[in-house]
Structure formats: structure tokens, C-alpha cells
Amino acid sequence: MHCVRKVTDDLYWVGANDHRTTLFENIHPIPTGVSYNAYLLLDEQSVLVDTVDWSACRQMMENVEHLLAGKPLDVLLINHMEPDHGASIEEILRRYPQVKIISTPKAFMLMRQFGFDIDGHELVEVREGDTYTFGTHTVTFVEAPMVHWPEAMVTFDVTDGVLFSADAFGSFNALDGKLFADEVDFDRDWLDEARRYLTNIVGKYGPHVQLLLKKAGGIMEQIKYICPLHGPVWRENFEYIVDKYDKWSRYEPEVSGVMIAYASMYGNTEGAAQALAAKLVEKGVRNLAVYDVSNTHVSYLISEAFKYSHIVLASVTYNLGIYPVMHNFLADMKALNLQNRKVALVENGSWACKSGDLMQKFLEEEMKGMTVINQRLSLASAMGEEKEDELEALANAIVDSIIEES
């Protein structure tokens, strides 16, 4: 059964929702699913813009066949060939052997590397600034390297002002019938998943996202629709999502507030984290979230670290090192290039307490622009009443830092 949505008079969403895959890229949990968006333009030539993951191939095929109503598919335009979008290319080629493929030279190279049987079909290589006309619609191509793979481009339909933005402006979450961002409560239901998607998938490539935003800024007046490869289509309020992307890709905090991430073996470090949270709230901090790194997938921790201006890392010492899950969190923050945060430390160790010094060394020597607040809470096994002054001093130092920054 087909399931399509109209974007404009002659452009349709022909993608699919996926609630079966548990791990996106086999690493990031997607408990609320994900959509793979493909679009079909019915001009004098029919143009399929990108395809979908193999798991969603059948649905996309039914959608395309329904709209083509027996006519051939003329053009397959590939902005991004990563298999969550490109896996169905070969099936399209089998069903529509006369189809012409338009993409970047690097994308064709990667298709061959992945074993896609594209040779023997008409391949049109395009580069930045090239244009192509399908009838009444003319498109221009804009390279978008590392957003999210090196071969990526975005395509702008200058006739209708439609930007096919590839992974940019995408999000986790299945669409489930809704298509446009103005059909959902984005702030309530989508923002966290959009941030988790962007920061974990493209976080490392902030400067490349900035470059693409700069290019998009040059045509912003002409853009009427932004059609990403995951998540909702934008047709209004562009400044909202552009502003979020701008902040995330500049590693600028989205909110002034505190994320407390604790690693606790027997609940004592957790107790200190909770006591600190209570003190901070008493002192007026309202934007605050507490996470147990042992049972929170690191993709959520990364998203929250990108969101907040201040991070508290509370960790036990383990094998004379940082507790492994906290160490993993630090390594992921580094890998995703997170920078320019104020960090406070809580350490614990029943003998040879090392975690504070080691976390500080990691933050200062392995990451960029991480400022460690000069006040630490140091515990030996558990927090007793004698630590009250230290806790108070740490809470005050964090509040002072928040005030100083705002």
C-alpha cells in the first residue's frame, strides 16, 4: 500500500518510517524510530531525489510506482549515497533500467566501492554551481562535504525554492503521518532528537556545517522548503532550525544551565551528584539535568553536553583510573569535538583517589576550550556531613560561573 505526502503541486514525499531498527548506524538507539525521506518530482521528466535504507525499500517502491502510474522513472538524483539512503539505488536500477543517475564524482566512486552495480547506466557527474533542467524545474547543485560524508551535496530547485538538504536539518524520530515541521510540536517532541541526531552524526564536522550554512545563507531569501533526508520538512520558521544548527555547529551552548553526569558504583557518588543538584536548584538554577552515565546511552549524554553551558562530571576511581563509562563519555565528547564548556569535577575513591586529576588532565590536554572550575568536591567512599562546606563551595562556584557568563 502506498503512503505518500504532497510537498508542492508536483513534488511528493515518497520515503518511509522505520520503527524496527533499534540502533541507527548500529550504534545510536532510536526508540521513537526514524524516517528515511525520498522525494519524487513529477516534471516533464520524473526525478527521484535520493532513495532509502534497505529496510524501507519496499515502501518507497510502492510509493514511487503509485505516483508514476506505469510511466518510467527518468532520473535518480543522489545527494548522499550513505546506505541509509543509497541502499535502494540498485533496486531502482533493476526496476527502471533506463534511469539516468545524477550525483557527484565522489558519490559514484563510493557507490562502486560499496558494490552498487551502476556502470552500464547513464551517469551524470555534477559539481558545485552546475545546473540541470527537468522541464519546468531547474536545479543547482551545492557541494556539502562532510555533512555528513565527503561525497554529499545539496540540491536547490530554483523554480520552486526547494532545498533538498541531505542529512542537514535532519532528525531522529519517525514522522508517522506528519510531514511538515509545523504539523508537530517541534520544541516539545523533536528538538532533543534533532540535537541528538546532529551532534552524534555530524558533531565532529561543525566547521563543515558552518560552511554549508554560509552557502544556504546566500540563498535564504529564495528558500521556501527545506527537505532533509530524515525528519520533517520545513516550510516556515527557517530561522528557528538554522539558529539551532548554527549554535550546535559552533559548539555554542543552547541554554545556560547545568548537566550533571555521574558514574557511581554503590550509590555514593550518585548521592553527591543529587545533593549538588538540589543545592544548585535551591540557588536558582532551573535548567538542570542529571544523568547516570552507566545507564544512559552516550548519544543522549553527548546531546545534553552540547545543550548545556556547564557540565559536572562526578566519577569514582576505578583501577586507579576514571570509571570506564565516564572515560567513554569523555572520549566521545573529544571525538565529536565538543568544546568551550565550563566543567566542575566531583571525584571519589576509597583509596588512591585519582579520577578528579585524570578527568582534569583529559579536559585540559585532550579537548579544546574546556575550562575546569577551580573548586572540586573530593570524596573518600561516601559523602558525610563534613563535606557540606565543600559541596556548598562547589555549588557557589558553578552559580558564579553561570552568572559571569550570562
* HSE value, Cβ hemisphere, 13 Å, CA-based, for 183: 13
At 360, the amino acid letter reads Q
CB 18 within 8 A of CB 34: yes
Q: Is 207 exposed, middle or buried (0-12, 13-18, 19+ CB in 10 A)?
A: exposed
* DSSP-H helix ranges across 24-72: 57-68
Q: Which residues pair with 142 in a beta bridge?
A: 154
Segment interacting with ligand FEO, rule: CB under 6 A, options 60-68, 77-85, 320-328, 379-387 = 77-85
Q: From the list 84, 151, 157, 304, which residue makes contact with ligand FEO (rule: CB under 6 A)?
A: 84
Please report whether residue 53 would count as binding ligand FEO according to CB under 6 A: no
User: Least distance in Å: CB of 303 to ligand FEO?
Assistant: 17
Helix (H, G, I), strand (E, B) or coil at 198: helix
String of contacts with ligand FEO for each residue 114-153, x by CB under 6 A: ----------------------------------xx----
Residue among 168 and 344 whose Cβ is closer to ligand FEO: 168
Stretch that binds ligand FEO, among 79-87, 128-136, 185-193, 324-332 (CB under 6 A): 79-87
Interface region with ligand FEO, contact rule CB under 6 A, candidates 80-88, 92-100, 175-183, 377-385: 80-88
The size of the interface with ligand FEO (CB under 6 A), counted in residues, is: 9
The pattern of x and - marking residues 175 through 214 that bind ligand FEO according to CB under 6 A reads ----------------------------------------
Q: What track of x and - describes contact with ligand FEO for positions 212 through 241 (by CB under 6 A)?
A: -----------------xx-----------
* Least distance CB 277 / ligand FEO (angstroms): 35
Whole-number Cα distances in Å, 201 to 100, 198, 249: 30, 5, 12
Is 52 or 223 the residue whose CB approaches ligand FEO more closely?
52
Q: In which residue are the cell numbers 566519577 written?
A: 315
265 within 8 A of 348, measured Cβ to Cβ:
no
Closest to ligand FEO by CB, 166 vs 322, is: 166
CB of 197 to ligand FEO, least distance (A): 9
DSSP state of 96: -
Dist. CA 323–CA 263, nearest whole Å: 7
Instruction: Report in angstroms how near the CB of residue 179 gets to ligand FEO at its nearest.
Output: 17
43: cell is 516534471
**Dihedral over alpha carbons 192, 244, 311, 314 (to 10 degrees):** 30
Per CB under 6 A, which region of 60-68, 81-89, 294-302, 334-342 contacts ligand FEO? 81-89
Which one of 74, 82, 90, 151 is in contact with ligand FEO (CB under 6 A)? 82
User: What minimum distance in Å lies between the beta carbon of 148 and ligand FEO?
Assistant: 4
Q: Is 85 in the site for ligand FEO (CB under 6 A)?
A: yes
Q: Is 286 exposed, middle or buried (0-12, 13-18, 19+ CB in 10 A)?
A: exposed
Rank residues 30 and 272 by Cβ distance to ligand FEO and give the closer one: 30
Q: Smaller CB distance to ligand FEO: residue 164 or 329?
A: 164
**Shortest CB 165 distance to ligand FEO, Å:** 11
Binders of ligand FEO among residues 147 to 166 (CB under 6 A) are 148-149
Helix H, strand E, coil C: the string for 368-381 is: ECCEEEEEEEEEEC
Smaller CB distance to ligand FEO: residue 46 or 79? 79
Q: H/E element holding 364?
A: helix 355-366
Percent helix, strand, coil in the chain (nearest 5)?
Answer: 40, 25, 35
Is 84 or 347 the residue whose CB approaches ligand FEO more closely? Answer: 84
- DSSP annotation of 173: B
What's the CA gap between 40 and 4, in Å, rounded? Answer: 10
Binding site residues, ligand FEO, CB under 6 A = 80, 82, 84-85, 148-149, 167, 229-230
